[in-house]
Amino acid sequence: MNIRHCFLSAPVYGLILFSLLYVPKLESATDPGRSRATLYKEYCLVCHGDKGDGNGFAAKFLDPKPRDFTSGKYKIRSTTSLPTDDDINRVITKGIPGTLMPAFKQDLDEQEISSLVAHIKDFTDAFDGETPEPITIPNPPPKTEELLAMGERLYVDGGCGTCHGQSGKGDGPSAETLQDEWGYSIRPYDFTIPGRMKGGSTVSDVYRSFVVGIGGTPMPAYGEIFTEEENWALAYYALSLSDSDDDGDDWGEDDDDWGEESSETVERDSNIGRDLVMGVKPFENGGPPCMGCHSVMGEKAIASGGGPWGPDLTIAHQKFKEYGLSIFLETIPFPTMGPLYHPRPLTEEERGHVLAFLISMQQPDEVQVVTAKVLSHYTLTILIGLLGVVLLTLTGLIAGKKNMELK
């Protein structure tokens, strides 16, 4: 064996050893059954429960309640029965406005979301042998005064005001008595609030909801009752009850702009919010500073980060939107935080300041927050593989040197 051969072959053998050690780990990590369960446990279990029945640790604090996947009934769908994979994917990716179901597009890639879709469907046999087909949504007609007048007439004749109220505020005579199929009280949507319809707030979204209904709720499907034109008219009229204009395409092209955010009477100061989060300024009722468990990147004053226990808060506003964060700060729905903050609630003023700070952490559209998670056994495997490369390289050098001495 000559020196050149030793130099070339040792790293090659080392890389082979590295591959033998590392590739099986990668294959194990991408195993669908394992990765799906792990993802569900990390992102979904706290609300939806380990059995997928909507009875997670945080469920009792949430309204509306988390979805019970075991029932096979879904509210938000583009079909008249079961949702398509794209329907479930869309909810995981973009979240549900007006609820604490966040958008996970910043946390999960497409493959991980697809794995979660498959895992969620496995909680029920309702999907066995079924291939749900979405309805066809035609291009919306132009909004005209005639169409709005037709929609107003249908709103009255169709009995929409019984639940949603005469002016669409969700205060109809039946509003207080309504329940969903899981037995929970459910309030009709207030059409005067722009941008928070759970299935999307564009005219195409509303049209779809009218045609297929809202699964598991008293909201019926009008696809077999009204004509296509009448459903468009009703959709336009429902949107006209708020002060916002419909400014989007269909659900699939939605850019996550869910309309105007809620307004607060309390003056907000993001600098005070930053001090509260960091612990520079204590909470009035004695609650611990957020940075004891969480980190927030993108702010120079706290670039060193905070505690390692909770998720990074940089994209909290992107995930939960202002409405969701407001509910979160008021109710503190997660059981690990509840014992700390329920006896020591944030004041309304403090919530406004913290909310302003979290909103200020919003990343520009062109900036993507990327997080990398490396499991401990991956790190160990990589180190072993690299050590093998080094050892075999040294062995080759020593062997080459001895070979020269013998010559």
Instruction: Report which of 281, 257, 259, 260 is spatially closest to residue 270, judged by C-alpha positions.
Output: 281
Measured CA to CA, the distance from residue 77 to residue 90 in angstroms comes to: 10
Q: Is the per-residue pLDDT at 370 higher than 90?
A: no
User: 190 or 393, which is more confident?
Assistant: 190
Measured CA to CA, the distance from residue 200 to residue 255 in angstroms comes to: 11
**pLDDT tens readout for residues 256-306:** 433 333 344 458 898 998 888 887 788 888 887 887 778 776 444 444 455
Which region, left, alpha or beta, applies to residue 95 given φ > 0 means left and ψ of -120 to 50 means alpha? left
Q: Residue 70: is it exposed, middle or buried by C-beta count within 10 angstroms (0-12/13-18/19+)?
A: middle
Which two structure tokens, joined as six digits, stand for 327?
């509910």
Cβ(321)–Cβ(261) below 8 Å: yes
What is the dihedral angle through the alpha carbons of 197, 362, 43, 92, rounded to the nearest 10 degrees?
40
The structure's pTM equals 0.63
CB half-sphere exposure, 341, CA atoms < 13 A = 20
Measured CA to CA, the distance from residue 159 to residue 234 in angstroms comes to: 12
Longest dimension (CA), the chain: 104
pLDDT tier for residue 406 given thresholds of 50, 70 and 90: low
pLDDT of residue 383: 65
Instruction: Report which of 311, 280, 283 is spatially closest to residue 295, judged by C-alpha positions.
Output: 311
**pLDDT tens readout for residues 187-233:** 899 999 888 888 989 999 999 999 999 999 999 999 999 999 999 99
pLDDT of residue 402: 59
Tokens 């939605």 label which residue? 254
Q: Percentages helix, strand, coil for the chain, rounded to the nearest 5?
A: 50, 0, 50
pLDDT tier for residue 398 given thresholds of 50, 70 and 90: confident
**pLDDT tens readout for residues 231-261:** 999 999 999 998 654 444 344 444 443 333 3
Give the residue-averaged pLDDT of 14-24.
44
Q: Is the per-residue pLDDT at 140 higher than 70?
A: yes
Of the listed ranges 64-68, 121-125, 174-178, the least confidently predicted one is 64-68
